[in-house]
Amino acid sequence: MIQLNDIKKVGSKTIKLLNKLDIYSVNDLLEYYPFRYDLIRRSNINELKNNDPVIIDGVIENVPIINRYGKRKDRMTFRINTNTKLLNISIFNRGFMHHNLVPGKVVTIIGKYDILHNTIVASDIRFGEIGEDHIEGVYHTTSGISSKQIKSFVDEALKMDIQVEDYIPSIYQERYHFCDKKTAIKNIHNPKLPIDLKKARLRMKYEELFVFMLKINMLKHNKSNKLGLSREVDVDKVKDFIAGLPFELTKDQLKCSKEIYLDLISEKRMNRLVQGDVGSGKTVVSIISMYINYLSGYQSALMAPTEILAIQHYHNLLNMFKDYDIKIELLTGKLKNKERKQVLEDLKEGNIDIIVGTHALISEDVEYNNLGLVITDEQHRFGVNQRANLRNKGITPDILYMSATPIPRTYALTLYGDMDVSNIRTMPNGRKPIITILRRSNEIRDVLERMYKELKNNHQIYVVAPLIEESLESSLENVKSLEEKMNKAFGKKYKVGVLHGKQDNDTKDKIMNNFKDNKIQILISTTVVEVGVDVANATMMVIFDAYRFGLSSIHQLRGRVGRNSLQSYCILISDKEAERLNVLVSTNDGFKVSEEDFKLRGSGDLFGIRQSGDMQFKVADLRKDFNILLKAKDDSLEYLRSIDYAKDLKIVNLMTNSSNLD
């Protein structure tokens, strides 16, 4: 088998650098595609203006002169003859190239034209023949390795006899007139014509999306054939429980609860996603589902992404079920050994009806007596394997996912094709829409006055910055400097606290609890507060350099306030991208926000995909290529129904090797 070190000039040091780019094999290298392409088109020197980009061929006229200055810095100069003109060439920190720059040699110069001094300030010098209108790929790099080096390694690999798996069945190869995979890879790296590049990328996009949708539809097919748990539930008890709640359910909450009830009493295994804005009332729907599960004699497990959120759920459940004989326990990493041992024993013996926790719920030593329902809150924050580990603790438990990151319905039906999707769009009665205000940095006085007004009313405030500490590379606002500024403005009367990802969990929990108890009035943080406890008294969210965040991320942050009947505010401070941020000023609807975010940013982290690893496409973009995705979805369904599926070992192996998606 051909290895990376079989490629010319790839040694152990280079392999370590390639590993940083997630390149571990020759196939990884071949699938490490350019992120953009430069069209190298020759310039007419007589038509250029000052500072215009220039690409021109010429013959070297003289031996280069090197002037050294500073620490390891140099400036090299020489002349070239273009047949119509003599040009001065100046290039910085390329003195090591002078041995190759001999008089009479033909070179291609890339740079900018200084018309006053008849000089090209070069950024690159190329040797050898470069054709007219040459298309050149540019690769993402890391410190110590250049795009040009990656290109040379790829070119060497393309000369080798590398086996690549082609996952497009022949029926679709012929239907869409696709080139073979090897040709596509070659043309993506070294396209001779724009049409070659377009065809190659289309073919690779289709393969990625076909494989993805094949996995999704395979999962859906498998799950639809799985029998669920046998349940007998007294529907009147469920109705009485809902009627006894201290608030009236919204239309969407009732609809969602009914869908879950029908899932739970059906013979098929439930696999449902409930999505809705922060504060839309997903939690009470999950509580109703746990009550239905309890009535049928099964245990429920509720897993939250953070310990603070798990504790919040635990106390909510204790309060909601205070008049019922339902045993509820909390399992987190902080339990003392004796307490943990008792909880595990009670769980195994069936003495616990509902268990709430974090990742501790999927530890190897956790055994359930009769787990019937698994609920994961903020489901996009768990990797697929983590969710699967919890599911596999039971025999065939029903699955309920909850997410406060709404995505457009069209995309949800495709991306979560193996799930049923319920949406909660209506907000509980008594909640006032959050007023969102956009301000420039020179309007900070107005922001501080608004903050002071909320503090005087004994309310609390979140302040969010994109960075933790000051950076030499960036002028963005940071948590440390904001702490100083907020203390200067309000420190004499109000307590300022700081929360960020570099703190240990105990410190973060202590700070968050102090904020919840109103021992801290201004909490300065990074986006770690995006998922956290409910602080009903917090009425203002101030986000500095808001343009640095996606719309959906800001919407999640905004959802930290407005948790009660008080009027709440979100202030966005930004000197850039006002048009984009005005989407948040105009609407509080998370579905509309996510639709705009998807249009503007593509898939990105909108779905939490980086944690699951199953949607990190190399060439496809879910936003731009959604029509290809729909076609791939239809084709994958057609293929799964065909007799060829069982015979196609490549696809069968692909499915077998993708069990982590379940």
Tell me: pLDDT of 583 over 80: yes
**What's domain 235-266+281-403's superfamily in CATH?**
P-loop containing nucleotide triphosphate hydrolases (3.40.50.300)
Cα–Cα distance measured from residue 400 to residue 286, given in angstroms and rounded to the nearest whole number: 8
Higher pLDDT, 332 or 279: 332
Tell me: pLDDT of 630 over 50: yes
Q: What is the predicted pLDDT for the residue at 325?
A: 94
- DSSP conformation class of 270: P
Put the strands of the sheet holding 371-376 in their side by side order.
Answer: 328-331, 354-357, 299-303, 371-376, 398-403, 271-276, 420-424
* Residue 612 near residue 383 (C-beta atoms within 8 A): yes
Where does the pLDDT of residue 503 fall: very low under 50, low under 70, confident under 90, or very high at 90 and above? confident
What amino acid occupies position 260? Answer: I
Dihedral over alpha carbons 146, 148, 154, 157 (to 10 degrees): -100
Cα–Cα distance measured from residue 62 to residue 72, given in angstroms and rounded to the nearest whole number: 24
Q: What is the predicted pLDDT for the residue at 658?
A: 47
Cα–Cα distance measured from residue 654 to residue 27, given in angstroms and rounded to the nearest whole number: 16
Q: What is the mean pLDDT of residues 549-573?
A: 89
Q: What is the mean pLDDT of residues 264-277?
A: 86
Q: What is the predicted pLDDT for the residue at 415?
A: 64
pLDDT digits (tens, 9 = 90+) for 10-51: 988 999 999 888 899 898 999 999 988 877 778 888 888 898
Tell me: pLDDT of 358 over 60: yes
Q: What is the predicted pLDDT for the residue at 563?
A: 81
The β-bridge relationship of strands 435-439 and 73-81 is unpaired
Tell me: pLDDT of 384 over 70: no
Q: Count the alpha carbons within 13 Å of 107 in the hemisphere toward its beta carbon.
A: 25
Tell me: pLDDT of 646 over 70: no
Q: What is the predicted pLDDT for the residue at 200?
A: 95
Cα–Cα distance measured from residue 352 to residue 348, given in angstroms and rounded to the nearest whole number: 8
Q: What is the predicted pLDDT for the residue at 608?
A: 35
Cα–Cα distance measured from residue 6 to residue 4, given in angstroms and rounded to the nearest whole number: 5
Cα–Cα distance measured from residue 382 to residue 357, given in angstroms and rounded to the nearest whole number: 13
* CATH of segment(s) 4-159: 2.40.50.140
* Residue 121 near residue 132 (C-beta atoms within 8 A): no
Tell me: pLDDT of 567 over 90: yes
Where does the pLDDT of residue 494 fall: very low under 50, low under 70, confident under 90, or very high at 90 and above? very high
Where does the pLDDT of residue 411 fall: very low under 50, low under 70, confident under 90, or very high at 90 and above? low
Comma-separated ranges of CATH 3.40.50.300 domains in the chain: 235-266+281-403, 435-587
- Which CA distances in Å does 113 have to 66, 105, 126, 135? 20, 21, 17, 22
- DSSP conformation class of 227: B
Cα–Cα distance measured from residue 564 to residue 236, given in angstroms and rounded to the nearest whole number: 31
Tell me: pLDDT of 354 over 70: yes
Residue count of the chain, please give it.
662
Higher pLDDT, 659 or 352: 352
Please count the helices (runs of H) and the strands (runs of E) in the chain: 21, 21
Kindly state the tokens that stand for 48.
């250029």
Where does the pLDDT of residue 291 fall: very low under 50, low under 70, confident under 90, or very high at 90 and above? very high
Q: What is the predicted pLDDT for the residue at 103?
A: 94
Q: What is the predicted pLDDT for the residue at 65?
A: 95
Return the closest-CA partner of residue 353 out of 282, 297, 287, 284.
Answer: 297
Q: What is the mean pLDDT of residues 442-448?
A: 95
Tell me: pLDDT of 327 over 70: yes
Cα–Cα distance measured from residue 564 to residue 558, given in angstroms and rounded to the nearest whole number: 14
Q: Count the alpha carbons within 13 Å of 260 in the hemisphere toward its beta carbon.
A: 31
Tell me: pLDDT of 286 over 80: yes
What percentage of the chain's residues is helix, strand, coil (to nearest 5)?
40, 20, 40
Cα–Cα distance measured from residue 203 to residue 619, given in angstroms and rounded to the nearest whole number: 10
What amino acid occupies position 485? Answer: K
Q: What is the predicted pLDDT for the residue at 383?
A: 45
Q: What is the predicted pLDDT for the residue at 322?
A: 92
- Which CA distances in Å does 268 have to 236, 394, 398? 23, 16, 9
- Which CA distances in Å does 55 have to 94, 111, 134? 18, 7, 11
Highest-scoring range by mean pLDDT, 88-97, 405-414, 474-483, 555-564? 88-97
Beta strands in 98-161 (DSSP E): 106-114, 119-127, 134-138
The rounded mean pLDDT for the chain is: 84
Q: What is the mean pLDDT of residues 455-465?
A: 95
* Residue 422 near residue 401 (C-beta atoms within 8 A): no
Lowest mean pLDDT of 159-163, 215-219, 225-229, 511-515, name the range: 225-229
Residue 545, Ramachandran bin (φ over 0: left; ψ between -120 and 50: alpha; else beta): left
Kindly state the tokens that stand for 438.
């956009």
Lowest mean pLDDT of 231-235, 570-574, 609-613, name the range: 609-613
- The helix or strand, by DSSP H or E, that contains position 69, with its residue range, turns out to be strand 65-69
DSSP 495-554: -EEEE-TTS-HHHHHHHHHHHHTTS-SEEEESGGGGS----TTEEEEEEETGGGS-HHHH
- Which CA distances in Å does 11 have to 3, 7, 18, 22, 133? 11, 9, 10, 16, 34
Q: What is the predicted pLDDT for the residue at 637?
A: 86
Q: Please give the share of the chain, as a percent, with pLDDT higher than 70.
A: 85
How far the first Cα of the chain sits from its last, in Å, is 31
Q: What is the predicted pLDDT for the residue at 172?
A: 93
pLDDT digits (tens, 9 = 90+) for 463-481: 998 887 765 555 678 888 8
Tell me: pLDDT of 95 over 60: yes
Return the closest-CA partner of residue 552 out of 581, 522, 510.
Answer: 581
Q: What is the predicted pLDDT for the residue at 222?
A: 64
Q: What is the predicted pLDDT for the residue at 188?
A: 94
The β-bridge relationship of strands 134-138 and 371-376 is unpaired
- The helix or strand, by DSSP H or E, that contains position 626, with its residue range, turns out to be helix 626-641
Q: What is the predicted pLDDT for the residue at 584?
A: 94
Where does the pLDDT of residue 112 fall: very low under 50, low under 70, confident under 90, or very high at 90 and above? very high
Tell me: pLDDT of 209 over 70: yes
Q: What is the mean pLDDT of residues 305-314?
A: 84
Give strand pairing partners of 78. Answer: 89
Q: Which residues contact 264 (CB under 8 A, 6 or more apart)?
A: 228, 231, 233, 270, 289, 292, 293, 296, 373, 398
Cα–Cα distance measured from residue 108 to residue 481, given in angstroms and rounded to the nearest whole number: 48
Q: What is the mean pLDDT of residues 610-637?
A: 74
Lowest mean pLDDT of 112-116, 332-336, 464-468, 622-626, name the range: 622-626
Where does the pLDDT of residue 562 fall: very low under 50, low under 70, confident under 90, or very high at 90 and above? confident
* Domain 435-587 falls under CATH 3.40.50.300: yes
pTM of the model: 0.64
- DSSP conformation class of 363: S
Cα–Cα distance measured from residue 19 to residue 13, given in angstroms and rounded to the nearest whole number: 10
